[in-house]
Chains A and B, each alone.
Chain A
Amino acid sequence: MNLPAEEALQHFVHYAENYFMKETWSSLTIEQPTIDLDYNAPEGVQGWVKISGLVTGWVMFTAPKSMVAELVQQKLGEEAQEGDCEDYIKEMASVVVSNSRRELGAALQVEMPNENVVFDKMCEHLPVFVVSMHWQEHEAQMVISLNVGNV
């Protein structure tokens, strides 16, 4: 039986795949995850949420702006405007983690972070779990950083 942290991670990956399937009608290719001890987010747009309760930490999505612009266009049927890409990826992070509550229950709480917080700084010196996801010719990442105390 999985422990809460592993169970949560499994659901995050599962719902990320689901999200893309629903939004784009096409699937993601997911690479074997790695654990990164010195993570630097690649250039692009980022959206993350803070989780607490069952496990505490952060879940972040990062993707090239061109990829998110395509996703926005598919969703809205028009070109992405200023701020659309940032809003889209924040929503993606929030939806993926919130959907995991279906299995994990209300014990998992999701909060939107302070706008001024920089993800790279939050997980500095902490190992993060990096799942690289390929969609069409783009590569996005889901990055999970859990606090050591409750895993």
Chain B
Amino acid sequence: MDLRTVLETSPEAHEKVTSVSLRRVEWSLFYSLDGTKTLLDFAHRYRLKEVEILTIGQSLLDLGLAAESRISIQTFLSTQGLTDKSDEKITIQTYVSEESVGIQPNSKAKDELIPVDLEWTEPKQVTPQDALVKKMDLKAVITYILESTKNPLAVYTIFLKVPPHLLKRCGIKTLPTSSKSPSLFISDTELQSAIMNAVLEKIGVRLPPYIWH
């Protein structure tokens, strides 16, 4: 593993995530893994030293939470903003909109630095419940179940596997079985895990990255 390594969450991460304790920065990195960014990208993003990001990456690999991702050179280059767009023809509207937000063609401005409270030196161990930063879009989860199963009844049998008290404590009293419902974001990590496990158990698939916000 080196700084060019691209990591993604491992298939068994959802099982292990509830039984490990990581530092905030490690959880933050774990939930940012999308299979396209290199460790060097994350080092820049989180303002970490190279040795620090390598240590975290190795730690996630050792714990089975992450796996090395294999991507095509085209995907890699496009995520790095290295594809040649100099000959690409765009409209004046696109050009002006890019200029007005300060994005230059081929720039990496969209990959802005995110200020994160790293607590790098803090020895305190935190639980997943404390550390998760992403919200689960319940509407996107239901839509994904419907697309995967083509059956609204599967939504019911999947959510039967989710302890009702977890849903209720997030103020959820009813669930739609169609994608025509308002978005609802869940930040309760126990409920997130329960939903992920129920989907995996019932239909054997992991939830896609786009359900996270």
A residues with CB within 8 A of B: 2-3, 5-6, 9-10, 32-38, 125-127, 129, 144, 146, 148, 151
Contact = CB atoms under 8 A, between A and B. Distances in A.
B173 A151 contact: no
B157 interface: yes
Q: Interface SS of chain B: helix, strand, loop or mixed? A: helix
Number of contact residues on B: which range applies?
20 to 34
Given A2-B151, A37-B168, A37-B173, A151 B157 contact: yes
B156 interface: yes
Interface string B155-174: 11101110011011000111
A6 B153 contact: yes
B152 A32 contact: yes
Contacts of A38: 168, 173
Given A6-B149, A36-B174, A37-B173, 9 more contacts: A34-B175, A34-B177, A35-B155, A37-B164, A37-B175, A38-B168, A126-B160, A126-B164, A127-B175
Contacts of B154: 2-3, 6
A127 B159 contact: yes
A125 B160 CA distance: 11
A9 B153 CA distance: 7
B176 interface: yes
Q: Which of A5, A6, A9 has the most CB of B within 10 A?
A: A6
B151 A6 contact: yes
A151 B160 contact: yes
Nearest to B203: A3
